Amino acid sequence: MAEIPTVLLVESSVRQIDHVRRQTLSEKVSILRYDCASVDDFVARLQPGGLYSNICAIVRTGWLKAGPYASHRLFASEVIPHFPSSLKLICCSGHGYDAADIDALTNRGIWFCNTPNACTEAVANTGLMLVLETFRYLSFAQWCARYDWQKSRELGLKAVDPAGMVLGVVGLGDIGLAIAEKCQNALGMKIAYHGPKRKEEAEARLGGGAQYYADLTGMTSAVDCIVIAAPYTQSTHHLLSHKQFQVTKDTGLRVVNIARGKMIDEDALVLALEAGKVVGVGLDVHENEPVVHDKLRENWMVTLLPHIGVCSRTSWANFERQNWDNLESFLRTGKPVCPVNMIKGPYPMLQLK
């Protein structure tokens, strides 16, 4: 009788568990639970004869930023050469996948799957809140309510309602589009966007339309608030920096980031704040997180969150479901449901029925 497939399960301490589905799967595959003290320990177990030397898949589920394994970069370039030849699939929670070397995995014939749209609602809600914060400075108002009621009166000549203002979205994918829809419908904002190409289908979902800008600097000069919702790559590193902050409207620019911290040059952002080029900031992600830039942390006119845009039980449940969907599809057909990369066939079916 053929040996059943072995799957390595890497779990965050923050997750939702589908007990019924896991029980069903455990009857058809052998599930090993990751408990490595370090990435070096992980690499050692991947070696021939090691505990993980015969795994066919890795499933990493739950909130990647929480728990004892949050700092374990298991799919980084330096780790991939140690993967056993039996490993053919990685399923990992989250929308972004910049922590994985996709090209190296593809060259090894390993599928990589994220969980697209699983956290769109949670992150888009966070984006909506941060946009409103940059116009109304409610973080500062909360500080005033606790410590200095009269100081809140300084907001009288600073706070502005976003209705009629132009929101520029960098990256009109699932999350960027959801933020645009919420800001258009709830706040009455006009929408502009920037990306590699125009997205007419996405524009059609926006009842008030949207204006496409091929040039980011050109869009920056025309909008009142900019939201970064694009993937982080080498080409998007410091996407917003001195050049963009020099062309803002006379009324100033508001900046929101729910994508990756390194897409904003935070030193340039601070200088733009001090010069009045930027007049509002809402950040869920930070350039050197978990370290927060001193001048941003000390400024209560800036809204700061600790990378919790994804943080919702709804997200964790969606992560769980989509990860197991990808695993089961792979085991039955040789192909997962929503891979980031493409592996050439043939795709042999394994033991799951």
Residues annotated catalytic, as ranges:
260, 289, 307
The packing angle between helices 138-147 and 120-136, to 10°, is: 70
Alpha-carbon distance of 274 to 267, in angstroms, equals 11
Residue 125, token pair as written in the block: 């809600």
Alpha-carbon distance of 293 to 343, in angstroms, equals 41
For residue 270, the 8-state DSSP code is H
Nearest to 160 by CA among 229, 220, 224: 224
Residue 8: phi, psi to the nearest 5? -95, 120
Amino acid at position 312, single letter: S
Alpha-carbon distance of 15 to 61, in angstroms, equals 7
Residue 302: phi, psi to the nearest 5? -105, 135
Alpha-carbon distance of 136 to 130, in angstroms, equals 10
Residue 318, token pair as written in the block: 């969606």
338's torsion region: left (phi>0), alpha (psi -120 to 50) or beta? Answer: beta
Task: Judge contact between 259 and 307, C-beta under 8 A.
Answer: no
Show the beta-strand stretches assigned E in 138-277. 166-170, 190-194, 211-213, 225-228, 253-257
Cβ contacts of 40 within 8 Å, gap of 6 or more: none
Cβ contacts of 245 within 8 Å, gap of 6 or more: 220, 253, 268, 269, 271, 272, 277, 278
Alpha-carbon distance of 189 to 210, in angstroms, equals 10
State the CB neighbour count (10 A cutoff) for residue 180. 30
H or E, element range at 281 = strand 278-283
